[in-house]
Amino acid sequence: MSGTLTPSDENGHRCWGGSRTASALPALNVIFRFFVSCLRGCATLVRSALARSQSVPAVGVLLALWMPQPVMAATACDALLTVVLRNGKVTLAQEVAAGAFVPPATGRGRGGPPAPYADLPAFCRVAATLRPSGDSAINVEVWLPAAGGSAPWNGKLEALGGQGWAGTIGYAGLRDGLRRGYAVTATDSGHTGGAGIFALEHPEQLVDFAYRSAHEMTLAAKTIVTTFYGSGPRLSYWDGCSTGGRMALTEAQRFPEDFDGIIAGAPANFSSHQAAQMMSVALAVHPPSREASADEASYIPPAKYSLIHQAVVEACDARDGAKDGVLEDPTRCDFDPGTLECKGEDAATCLTPAEVSAARKIYAPIVNPRTRETIFPGLSPGSELAWGTVAGPQPLAFPREIYQFIVFKDPMWDYKTLDLDRDVARAEKAYDGMMDAINPDLTAFFKRGGKLLQYHGWSDQAVAPANSVNYYNSVVRKSGGDGRVQQSYRLFMVPGMTHCAGGEGTSSFDALAALERWKEQGQAPAHIPASRMAGGVVNRTRPLCPYPEVATYKGAGSIDEAANFVCKTR
């Protein structure tokens, strides 16, 4: 008599059925192997369900944990040279002894000087070149903690974003990830060098820079990790600021299955509009004029930045309840530079009328002169000490090159010809949706349990901080309210912090640790501990609060101790 139920495992083998009279030992052995194979197939189905749903019955979770895991044999480091990648080839696979790594001369960290590597544990260093198009050459590196080494693999993958035009591997970020036990990966975003001229004649490389390099790097890194350890990462995180922050939001929007958690710092995610704002700041201090003297009359000398900053602090600092030299919430500051206007001749202690006008333009959002619609927010009060980045003697190269090499495709383009009504629309058309990551629909990322932690310094001089607030609010509107969004997405505005780091505020904090606790332990960050360093010593601590909450002084105790502040909505 034959059985009637004949389900199959993932290889198409029948799991049970056939003659009930079969009794030979070999047949029993075959049946046993089929049974184990079937269990593995069932486990695959359960794990797939787990990946698609945030809430699975407890019995399903227990079943997935009990089922045998598909296991691959681990691979030696040098054998990774033969690993097959979807769109590329491994070019280097070498074991690096503890403390032996020396970064290439072209390497740089996240905007800072080369950092020491002598304390690094042993690891397997893998380099690859990915070619998803005929004109692509995306260089990536993957660093893998050595099996059995002093810092074993934590089972997770960390992917890193770049800054500016990228164009190089961020070795300092790879170092930091490896120290924490991560398999960690970074890319040059598909071109070499920190300038945008590559986009002029290589449109496919612009696509790589815009979004494709991050995705391709992630897929390649997961393949390499799986081959080396015999199993893939149990969790994958993205960590990037500025351009890396834009890549972060791009990943959440375009490729929601790439990462389980994402850190998006000061994201330049509305680049077509941000470039116009940065050029407008340059025009505020160098307005077009037929007379050279009139042209430079609006230029604010760097020596006067501290004058303006001190006036801002005196006018608005006490409004947050603690007079500590930092604005907790600059949106409550209505400082007018006109209060500093000279009563007579120009002096170091006042601003000329032209300088007052320039300062007002730096704070103000830029608007379309015809429609009066806001294009992009201005810089916040408190950012004055860093104005030299965008209001210096020459325009910042990054936004200028966007217009030269992407928008107008003319290396001789003159920023003084910028027309906000015409050229912003032209930039949007040139981008064709590639470099603007402003889609507020994060449903797919949220549904699979993804967590998004975004931060931005209120004193950011490069990406106006209100841009992050605007994007967060657009997601809230799309997703049905603050309470629902904060289950998956939290924004932390950092008082006094400039672009990605630094400044007068408490700009030292561990966003990755907060994301780990959120994703792995279910502890949503009610605040993030932060500190300020001076001379290598912590001289202030403060909680960073999830927007729209603000750190509020309790009214007693030292203003330099976090315990005396509470997060409140105002």
> Which string of DSSP letters, residue by residue, matches 28-59?
HHHHHHHHHHHHHHHHHHHHHHHHH-S---HH
- Ranges of each domain in the chain: 1-70, 74-212, 287-431
Q: What's this model's pTM, rounded to 2 decimal places?
A: 0.86
pLDDT of residue 293: 54
Q: E strand or H helix at 374, and its extent? A: strand 374-376
Q: E strand or H helix at 216, and its extent? A: helix 213-229
Closest CA to 189 of 136, 248, 236, 239: 136
- CB within 8 Å of 360: residues ≥ 6 apart: 336, 337, 338
Strands 549-553 vs 537-544: parallel, antiparallel or unpaired: unpaired
pLDDT of residue 21: 33
pLDDT of residue 1: 35
Q: Catalytic annotation on 460?
A: yes
Burial of 440 (0-12, 13-18, 19+ CB in 10 A): middle
Q: Catalytic annotation on 456?
A: no
Q: Which of 273, 286, 499, 527 is catalytic?
A: 499
Distance CA 475, CA 440 (A): 5
Burial of 192 (0-12, 13-18, 19+ CB in 10 A): middle
What is the per-residue DSSP string for 317-368?
A: GGGGS--SSS-S-GGG----GGGGB-SSS--TTSB-HHHHHHHHHHHSPEE-
pLDDT of residue 170: 94
pLDDT of residue 289: 76
Q: How many CA atoms lie within 13 A of 535 on its CB side?
A: 1
pLDDT of residue 400: 97
Q: Which residues of the chain fall below pLDDT 70?
A: 1-73, 106-115, 290-295
Q: Catalytic annotation on 236?
A: no
| C-beta separation of 101 from 117 below 8 A | yes
| C-beta separation of 170 from 162 below 8 A | yes
pLDDT digits (tens, 9 = 90+) for 371-397: 999 999 999 999 999 999 999 999 999
pLDDT of residue 14: 30
Q: E strand or H helix at 467, and its extent? A: helix 466-479
Q: How many CA atoms lie within 13 A of 510 on its CB side?
A: 9
Distance CA 475, CA 438 (A): 9
pLDDT of residue 291: 52
| C-beta separation of 163 from 137 below 8 A | no
What is the per-residue DSSP string for 269-328?
A: -BHHHHHHHHHHHHHHHS---SSHHHHHTT---GGGHHHHHHHHHHHHGGGGS--SSS-S
Give me the phi and psi of 169, to 5 degrees please. Answer: -85, 135
SS3 label, residue 258: coil
Q: Which of 242, 357, 383, 479 is catalytic?
A: 242
Distance CA 64, CA 53 (A): 14
Closest CA to 223 of 91, 83, 77: 83
Q: Count the residues in the chain.
A: 570
pLDDT digits (tens, 9 = 90+) for 236-268: 999 999 999 999 999 999 999 999 999 999 999
Q: CA-based Rg of the chain, rounded to a whole angstrom?
A: 27
Strands 123-130 vs 88-96: parallel, antiparallel or unpaired: antiparallel
pLDDT of residue 115: 56
Distance CA 178, CA 99 (A): 12
Q: For Cα atoms 92, 96, 100, give the angle at the middle one, nearest 5 degrees.
A: 125
